[in-house]
Amino acid sequence: MINQSIPNTFFKNNRLKLFKQSQADMIIVTANGLLQKSADEHLPFGQDSSFWYLTGLNEPDLILVITQNEEFLIVPSHYTYRQSALADLDSELINQTSAINQIFNEKEGWQKVKKDLKKDCKIATLLPAPALMQYYGFYANPARRRLYAKIKRLSNDVIIIDIRQKIATLRMVKQPIEINLIQKALDITIQTLKEVLTVKNLKNYHDTRTIEQDILSGFIRRGGSGHAFDPIIAIGKNATYIHYNKLADSITSGQLMVCDVGSRYMGYNADITRTVVGHSKASHRQQEVYNAVKEIQQETYKLIKAGIKAKDYEHQVETLVGQQLIKLGIIKKLDHQAIKRYYPHACSHSLGIDTHDPADYNYPLPENMVMTVEPGIYIKEEGIGVRLEDVVRVTKNGCQLMTADLPTSLYIS
Ligand SMILES: [Mn+2]
């Protein structure tokens, strides 16, 4: 749970900045809770990234309270099983990691919050997502919802302020230590892909699950903590589904393989995609589509610099994709609907503690935002999917390519 090389001042400064910007009397945020897998087993724990950004702590169900004069944690005291069968919380470690030295149990903690409540007290928190996120088809962690209900019950005249936007804006600009950690996560990923995705090495594989295992092992050997997200390793037609993550493909000759993976390193993520050939040479057509995506990516880098608006930038990239689709004879004219059929995603997203890090895309892109550049063309009717994904840091006059050490080629040697 401790990250010894992230100084706890990082987390403390994040809290101070957020408190200043929140214009609230009190900030209360919660860690995520554990989710049941079956019977007495839980799914692997994933911390609420914003809670981690403010504390560095990877424990479930902690609650962080910040006021003008103090900050403290409330630890859950009602989990008999967890405390007896897993591990006790180590307050010394909590203090070292987060620089928070006041820890209260549930009862004392909430009594303290009530005592500090003034009339018309403004409490800032991260509002919960809908219980079921319809578009994605998955359920939100219930911890924020529980906390929100609890804050509302504190008193009738509490004013609740949503700070999701504020924290997104803070997290959008990466501090030097964060840039280093992302670079390290990227380097681990690059070295691993240079080992696994070479023409010579790929001959050893018959299925994508084994490739994934070797990539994971490469991440761990190099100090990574695991996959940043469910890896996408997809062959032929399956590579035309942008998030195909079944890892159930056999490697057959004559097919392109999209490999979209990233290592996690001390809380920060990498996200890189290469498209390579399995057991043969690419066909003329496959090479043509590949070259088109590569050209789009090269042109896209030139569009990036601090101050551009994400919306305009994405629109320009879409035009670049459209021009290549016309050249490939896939569409006839630049038409949004037609382009989106072959390029159904955005080109860039912010990268950090989350693979899709929160950001305010209405805001001009700031200097030191770290983001992906990932154009792709997916032609279902031809069974060809190509995506290339690299990572840049936005600078005042352009961008710095953080993944330059990994070759961009169908054949990595
Ligand atoms: Mn990505």
Predicted confidence at residue 118, as pLDDT, reads 81
Query: Which pLDDT score, from 0 to 100, does residue 241 have?
Result: 92
Phi, psi of 221 (to 5 degrees): -55, -30
**CA 246 – ligand 1 centroid, Å:** 17
In this predicted model, what pLDDT tens digit does every residue of 201-258 receive, in sequence order? 999 999 999 999 999 999 999 999 999 999 999 999 999 999 898 998 888 888 999 9
Provide the edge-to-edge strand list for the sheet that holds 268-269: 226-227, 263-265, 268-269
Q: Give bridge partners of residue 269 from the DSSP assignment.
A: 264
Ligand 1 centroid – CA 391 distance (Å): 9
pLDDT value of residue 249: 86
Query: DSSP letter string over 264-287?
Result: EETTEE--EEEEEESSSPPPHHHH
Q: Which tens digit of pLDDT belongs to each residue from 250-297?
A: 888 889 999 999 999 999 999 999 999 977 899 999 999 999 999 999
In whole angstroms, what is the distance from residue 297 CA to residue 302 CA? 9
How close is the Cα of 41 to the center of ligand 1, in Å?
31
Q: Which residues are bridge partners to 122 per DSSP? A: 159
Cα of 341 from ligand 1 centre, angstroms = 19
- Mean pLDDT (the chain, rounded): 93
**Ligand 1 centre distance from Cα of residue 338 (Å):** 22
Pairing relationship of beta strands 103-105 and 71-75 according to DSSP bridges? parallel
pLDDT of amino acid 80: 59
pLDDT of amino acid 280? 83
Stretch 74-100: mean pLDDT: 76
**pLDDT at residue 248, rounded to an integer:** 86
| DSSP assigned state of 141 | P
**The predicted structure's pLDDT at residue 54:** 98
- pLDDT tier for residue 86 given thresholds of 50, 70 and 90: low
What DSSP element (H or E) covers 9?
helix 8-22
| The residue to which tokens 């003008």 are assigned | 68
CA of residue 78 to ligand 1 center, whole Å: 39
Q: How far is the CA of 93 from the centre of ligand 1 (A)?
A: 34
The DSSP annotation for 30-41 comes to EPPPP-EEETTE
DSSP H stretches of helix in 273-344: 284-301, 310-327, 336-342
Contact call for residues 405 and 187 (beta carbons, < 8 A): yes
The CA 373 to ligand 1 mean position distance, Å, reads 8
Cα 372 to middle of ligand 1, angstroms: 6
Report the distance separating Cα 38 and Cα 116, nearest Å. Answer: 40
pLDDT score of 1? 38
Q: Which pLDDT belongs to residue 93? A: 87
Average pLDDT rounded to a whole number, residues 5-20: 96
How much is the average pLDDT of 110-134? 92
Integer CA distances (angstroms), 239 to 275, 323, 383, in order: 9, 22, 8
For the chain, percent of residues with pLDDT exceeding 90:
84
Contacts of 11 (CB under 8 A, 6+ apart): 53, 54, 55, 56, 97, 98, 99
Give the model's pLDDT for residue 3. Answer: 45
pLDDT (mean) for 380-387: 96
**Distance of CA 252 from the midpoint of ligand 1 (Å):** 26
> Could you tell me if 212 and 284 are in contact, meaning their C-beta atoms sit under 8 angstroms apart?
no
Q: Taking Cα atoms as reference points, which of 405, 406, 398, 374 lies closest to residue 388?
A: 374
Confidence of residue 119 (pLDDT cuts 50, 70, 90): confident
Q: What is the DSSP string of 100-131?
A: ---EEEHHHHHHHHHHH--TT-EEEE-PPPPS
Does pLDDT of 114 surpass 90?
Answer: yes
Domains and CATH numbers, the chain: 8-170 (3.40.350.10), 173-401 (3.90.230.10)
Read off the pLDDT band of 77 (50, 70, 90).
confident
CA 386 – ligand 1 centroid, Å: 14
| Residue closest to 372 by CA, chosen among 314, 287, 286 | 314
Residue 16 reports pLDDT greater than 70: yes
Summarised one tens digit per residue, pLDDT across range 288-340 is 999 999 999 999 999 999 999 999 999 999 999 999 999 999 999 999 999 99
- Could you give the CA distance from residue 350 to residue 125 in angstroms, rounded to a whole number? 22
User: What local confidence, expressed as pLDDT, does residue 83 receive?
Assistant: 58
Q: What is the pLDDT of residue 391?
A: 98
pLDDT of residue 85: 54
Give residue 217 CA to ligand 1 midpoint distance, Å: 21
Q: How confident is the model at residue 2 (pLDDT cuts 50, 70, 90)?
A: very low
Looking at residue 84, its pLDDT comes to 55
- Dist. CA 125–CA 385, nearest whole Å: 42
